[in-house]
Amino acid sequence: MTNSYPADARLRVFASASSWIEGAAVRQLEQTLQRRGVLAVAAMPDLHPGHKGPVGCAVLTDGVVHPDIVGTDIGCGMTLWRLGGLLRRLKVDKAVRALERLGDRGGLDPAEAVAAGVAADVAARHAAALGTVGGGNHFVELQAVDRIIDAAACADAGVEPGALLLLVHSGSRALGPEVLARHPHVHGEGLPLEEGGAAYLADHDAAVRFARLNRAVLAERAAELLGLDGAPWLDVPHNHVTVEDGRALHRKGAAQADLGLVPVPGSRGALTYLVRPDPDAPGALRSIAHGAGRKRDRASLHGKRDGGERPNPVGNRVICADARLAREEAPEAYKDIGQVIADLDAHGLARPVAALRPLVTFKTGRA
């Protein structure tokens, strides 16, 4: 059973027949193609329905900027840090107790945020959010290199089995929604660069930098709590818009593919894959999948019919004091990351380099 995708030469779908994509997401793709100025759309194997359009796609326009494609979480993405530690020396219980404290401290002071490059007015309103995970699918996760898949690429990158890593998924917190609200636009019409698009981009770019800084503060704090040396390695946004040669490239839940290696996480009970994208893959708009993608909407995961808690498929410890969030983010809410990676590989978008195993996941310490 396969979906029938819109017959439109501008659309490329990088998913195999065995990757289930909801009909609602396909209908949203049709609407995306009707937005003003759309030249090309690349849909990834983790495509799923979103608020104002599908999550898991890249959209190139002739210069019209569509803020509601990027949505509220401007700059959201993944940061991967190397940790100076080895799996065989790790005490998992101790790591759990350490990461439980990630929610204890507040964010930065405005002065610290300004020193880190945040504009004074933004710092005044949002510094306290720097170093906070947020909700939804965001997390901080201690991982270990589980399996080398591409030995040469791993040797190049210094990736060795049993090495500890820190993966952070977060965004611009309340700054993103503020920026979106500050630039009103008609759905589907968007903002031409000279008619509000450039002004949106300036605020948007600040939110992208803010989100990256937030991930760095989170990683630094997590490494400190774990008592391990931490070194920044990769930072890859998957929710943003870039303008080049007068064209606007939007990514909505699609990872940037021209920054080197990319961590592609599964659910919070699955492996993460480190992949090497081909930034020139035809039709992919310099993008790849950003994760497993939701299989079930949040609402359907509540209620008695769901059958309650299941064991974590890969045995990582998940710190999440919010039971409702834990249900919405349960592993069974997500697609199979192995299939997503297989689809990326089969379509020439990315090659797997290593599999990373989650050990301890921090979602939220707040009850």
Partner DNA sequence: ATGTTC
Active-site annotation, residues: 290
Residue 24 corresponds to which tokens in the numbers above?
Answer: 């609602």
| Interface with DNA, residue 51, by CB under 7 A | yes
Q: Is 173 in the site for DNA (CB under 7 A)?
A: yes
Closest CB to DNA among 61 and 172?
172
**Dist CA 237 CA 252 (whole Å):** 10
- Provide the minimum distance between the beta carbon of 174 and DNA in the complex, in angstroms, as a whole number: 3
Select the span of 133-141, 185-193, 337-345, 346-354 touching DNA (CB under 7 A): 133-141
Residue choice 32, 72, 287, 316 for contact with DNA (CB under 7 A): 72
Scanning the chain, the segments in alpha helix (DSSP H) are 23-33, 67-70, 92-100, 110-115, 120-126, 151-157, 175-182, 197-226, 323-328, 337-346
- Minimum distance of DNA from residue 299's CB (angstroms): 11
Tokens of 286: 């310099």
What CA–CA distances, in Å, run from 168 to 84, 230, 360? 17, 13, 12
Q: How many residues bind DNA (CB under 7 A)?
A: 19
* Rounded (10°) angle between helices 197-226 and 175-182: 180
Q: Which of 129, 153, 163, 288 binds DNA (CB under 7 A)?
A: 129
Whether 48 and 30 have beta carbons less than 8 Å apart is answered as: no
Nearer to DNA, 63 or 177 (CB): 177
Give min distance, CB of 14 to DNA, in A.
20
Whole-angstrom distance, CA of residue 323 vs CA of residue 341: 30
- Closest to DNA by CB, 218 vs 355, is 218
Alpha carbons 93 and 351: distance in angstroms, whole number: 34
Q: Please report, as residue ranges, which positions from 309 to 328 form the binding site for DNA (by CB under 7 A).
A: 324
Q: Which residue has the tokens 């396909």?
A: 26
Name the residue with tokens 């100076």: 84
The tokens for 127 are 């510094």
We find the least distance from the C-beta atom of residue 366 to DNA, in angstroms, to be 7
171, 230, 293, 331: which one contacts DNA (CB under 7 A)?
A: 171
- Restricting to residues 99-128, which ones interact with DNA according to CB under 7 A? 125
Pick the closer one to DNA by CB: 170 or 272. 170
Contacting positions for DNA (CB under 7 A) = 51, 71-73, 76, 125, 129, 134-138, 170-171, 173-174, 176-177, 324
